[in-house]
Amino acid sequence: MKLQYKIILILAASILVASLFPAVSLVQLYTFENELKTYLQKNVNDVIIINDLNAGVIRYDSYVNKYVATENIEWLNEASKMKSRVVQRLDELIKSNQTSADDKEMLAELTSIKTLSDEYFTKVDKIAKSTTSNSKQLAALAKEYNAGFVSIFNTTTKLVTLKTDQLARASGEVREKFQFLTRIGIIMGAVFIPLLSLLAVYIYRTTTAPINRITALVKEVRTDDSKTIDNMIENLDGFAKSLMQDDEMARLARTIRNLGLEVKEKTKELNEMVITDEKTKLYNFRHFKGELFSEITRAKRFSEKVSVIMIDVDKFKHYNDTNGHMLGDEVLVKVARLIKEQSREIDTPARFGGEEFAVLLPSTDKEEAAVMAERIRKAIEDASFVNQEKQPSGNLTASLGVATYPFDADDSENLLKSADTALYDAKESGRNRVSQFVNLQGLS
CA–CA separation, 410 and 299 (whole Å): 11
* Residues 370-423 pLDDT 10s: 999 999 999 999 999 999 998 888 899 999 999 999 999 999 999 999 999 999
pLDDT of 133 reads 47
CA–CA separation, 402 and 422 (whole Å): 6
pLDDT at 148 over 60: no
pLDDT of 155 reads 66
* Residues 261-272 pLDDT 10s: 776 676 766 767
What residues have CB less than 8 Å from 257, skipping those under 6 apart? 232, 233, 236, 237, 240
Residue 124: count other Cβ atoms within 10 Å of its Cβ. 25
The closest of 229, 209, 221, 212 to 171, measured between CA atoms, is: 212
Which region, left, alpha or beta, applies to residue 287 given φ > 0 means left and ψ of -120 to 50 means alpha? alpha
| Terminal alpha carbon distance of the chain | 83
What residues have CB less than 8 Å from 115, skipping those under 6 apart? none
CA–CA separation, 347 and 407 (whole Å): 20
pLDDT of 93 reads 73
The pTM for the full model equals: 0.48
pLDDT of 443 reads 44
What residues have CB less than 8 Å from 245, skipping those under 6 apart? none
The DSSP secondary structure of 323-370, one letter per residue, reads H-HHHHHHHHHHHHHHHHHHS-TT-EEEEEETTEEEEEEET--HHHHH
Residue 403 pairs in a beta bridge with 308
Q: Which long-range contacts (CB under 8 A, 24 or more apart) does 40-44 make?
A: 40/167, 40/170, 42/96, 43/163, 43/166, 43/167, 43/170, 44/259
CA–CA separation, 331 and 320 (whole Å): 9
DSSP 343: S
Q: Are 239 and 253 in contact (CB under 8 A)?
A: yes
Domain 285-441 carries which CATH code?
A: 3.30.70.270
* Residues 205-262 pLDDT 10s: 667 777 777 777 777 766 656 677 777 777 777 776 766 666 676 777 677 767 767 7
> What is the Cβ-side half-sphere exposure of residue 263, based on CA atoms within 13 angstroms?
30
CA–CA separation, 422 and 92 (whole Å): 52
Instruction: Report the pLDDT averaged over residues 114-133.
Output: 68
3-state secondary structure of 225: strand
Q: Report percent pLDDT > 90 for the chain.
A: 33
Mean pLDDT of the chain: 77
Chain centroid offset of residue 141 CA: 25
CA–CA separation, 153 and 175 (whole Å): 34
Chain centroid offset of residue 225 CA: 13
Chain centroid offset of residue 353 CA: 21
* Residues 87-104 pLDDT 10s: 887 777 777 777 665 567
